[in-house]
Chains A and B, each alone.
Chain A
Amino acid sequence: MANTNNAGAEALRRLKEVDPPSLLAPNPTLSETARAASQYLFSSIRPFSQKCPLDQLLVDGYDAEQIWHQIDLQTQPLLSTLRRRVNQFVKNPDEIAQLKVPSSVAKKVEAKNHEEWEQESDDFDEELDEDDDDEDDFEGVEKEEKNGGSDGEEEDDDDDDDEEGSEDEDEDEEGEKEKGKGKDSGIEDKFLKINELNEYLEKEENNYENAEEADDGDEDSEEDDELEKAGEFEMDEDDEDDDEEEDEDDEEEEEGMENARYDDFFVGKKEKSSKRKDQLVEESEDSGDEDDMESNKQVCVCVCVYVCVCMIVKIFILKIKFSYPVFLYSFMQKKRTASTHEKQLEKIQSEIELMEKANVEPKTWSMQGEVTAANRPVDSLLAVNLDFEHNVRPTPVITEEFTASIEEMIQKRIIEGLFNDVQRAPRLPSKAPREVKELDDNKSKKGLAEMYEQEYVQKIDPTSAPLSSKDKLKNEASMLFKRLCLKLDALSHFSFAPKPVIEDMSFQTNVPALAMEEIAPVAVSDAAMLAPEEVFDGKGDVKEEAELTQAERKRRRANKKRKFKADAVKRSEKKARSEKKEDNAIPGQVNG
Chain B
Amino acid sequence: MQSNEASSSMDVDTVSSKAKVLPPKPKFKPLKPHEMASGQVQFRKVSVPPHRYTPLHKLWMEFYTPIYEQMKIDIRMNKRGRKVELKTRPDTPDISNLQKCADFVHAFMLGFDVIDAIAILRLDELYVESFEIKDVKTLRGDHLSRAIGRLSGKGGKTKFTIENATKTRIVIADTKIHILGSFANIKVARDSLCYLIMGSPAGKVYSKLRAITSRMAERF
Interface residue ranges, A against B (CB under 8 Å): 434, 436-437, 439-444, 447-453, 455, 458-459
Given contacts A447-B115, A452-B119, contact A441 B157 (CB under 8 A): yes
Interface-centre pick from A436, A451, A455 (highest chain B CB count, 10 A): A451
- Whether B220 and A449, one on each chain, are in contact in the complex, defined by CB atoms closer than 8 angstroms, is no
Interface string of B204-220 (1 = CB under 8 A from A): 00100110011001101
Given contacts A437-B213, A455-B167, contact A449 B116 (CB under 8 A): yes
Specify which chain B residues have a CB less than 8 angstroms from the CB of A451 in the assembled complex. Answer: 167
Specify which chain A residues have a CB less than 8 angstroms from the CB of B181 in the assembled complex. Answer: 448
Given contacts A434-B214, A436-B214, A449-B116, contact A441 B167 (CB under 8 A): no
Q: In this assembly, does B123 line the interface, its C-beta being within 8 Å of a C-beta of chain A?
A: yes
Q: In this assembly, does B38 line the interface, its C-beta being within 8 Å of a C-beta of chain A?
A: no
Instruction: List, sorted by A's number, 6 A–B pairs whose CB atoms are closer than 8 Å.
Output: A434-B218, A439-B164, A440-B160, A441-B161, A448-B118, A452-B182
Specify which chain B residues have a CB less than 8 angstroms from the CB of A455 in the assembled complex. Answer: 167
In this complex, what residue of A is CB-closest to B121?
Answer: A449
In this complex, what residue of A is CB-closest to B158?
Answer: A441
Interface-centre pick from A444, A452, A458 (highest chain B CB count, 10 A): A452
Interface residues of B in 159-189 (CB under 8 A from A): 160-161, 163-165, 167-169, 180-182
Specify which chain B residues have a CB less than 8 angstroms from the CB of A448 in the assembled complex. Answer: 115-116, 118-119, 126, 167-169, 180-181
Given contacts A448-B116, A458-B220, contact A440 B213 (CB under 8 A): no
- Whether B123 and A452, one on each chain, are in contact in the complex, defined by CB atoms closer than 8 angstroms, is yes
Distance between B197 CB and nearest chain A CB, rounded to angstroms: 19
Query: Which of A444, A452, A459 contacts B160 (CB under 8 A)?
Result: A444
Q: In this assembly, does B90 line the interface, its C-beta being within 8 Å of a C-beta of chain A?
A: no
Give the docked Cα–Cα distance between A582 and B209 (Å). 76
Give the docked Cα–Cα distance between A511 and B164 (Å). 50
Give the docked Cα–Cα distance between A441 and B154 (Å). 10
- Whether A440 and B164, one on each chain, are in contact in the complex, defined by CB atoms closer than 8 angstroms, is yes
Q: In this assembly, does B137 line the interface, its C-beta being within 8 Å of a C-beta of chain A?
A: no
Specify which chain A residues have a CB less than 8 angstroms from the CB of B218 in the assembled complex. Answer: 434
Q: In this assembly, does B156 line the interface, its C-beta being within 8 Å of a C-beta of chain A?
A: yes
- Whether B210 and A449, one on each chain, are in contact in the complex, defined by CB atoms closer than 8 angstroms, is no
Specify which chain B residues have a CB less than 8 angstroms from the CB of A452 in the assembled complex. Answer: 119, 122-123, 126, 167, 182
Give the docked Cα–Cα distance between A113 and B126 (Å). 153
Q: In this assembly, does B113 line the interface, its C-beta being within 8 Å of a C-beta of chain A?
A: yes
Interface string of B95-108 (1 = CB under 8 A from A): 00000000000000
Interface residues of B in 109-141 (CB under 8 A from A): 113, 115-116, 118-119, 122-123, 126
Distance between A237 CB and nearest chain B CB, rounded to angstroms: 120
Give the docked Cα–Cα distance between A455 and B213 (Å). 14
Distance between A436 CB and nearest chain B CB, rounded to angstroms: 7
Specify which chain B residues have a CB less than 8 angstroms from the CB of A450 in the assembled complex. Answer: 115
In this complex, what residue of A is CB-closest to B112?
Answer: A448
Give the docked Cα–Cα distance between A436 and B215 (Å). 11
In this complex, what residue of A is CB-closest to B182?
Answer: A452
Give the docked Cα–Cα distance between A298 and B182 (Å). 153
Specify which chain B residues have a CB less than 8 angstroms from the CB of A442 in the assembled complex. Answer: 160, 164
- Whether A449 and B118, one on each chain, are in contact in the complex, defined by CB atoms closer than 8 angstroms, is yes
In this complex, what residue of B is CB-closest to A440?
Answer: B164
With A439-B164, A447-B119 already in contact, 6 other A-B pairs whose C-beta atoms are closer than 8 Å: A439-B206, A441-B161, A441-B164, A447-B118, A448-B167, A449-B123
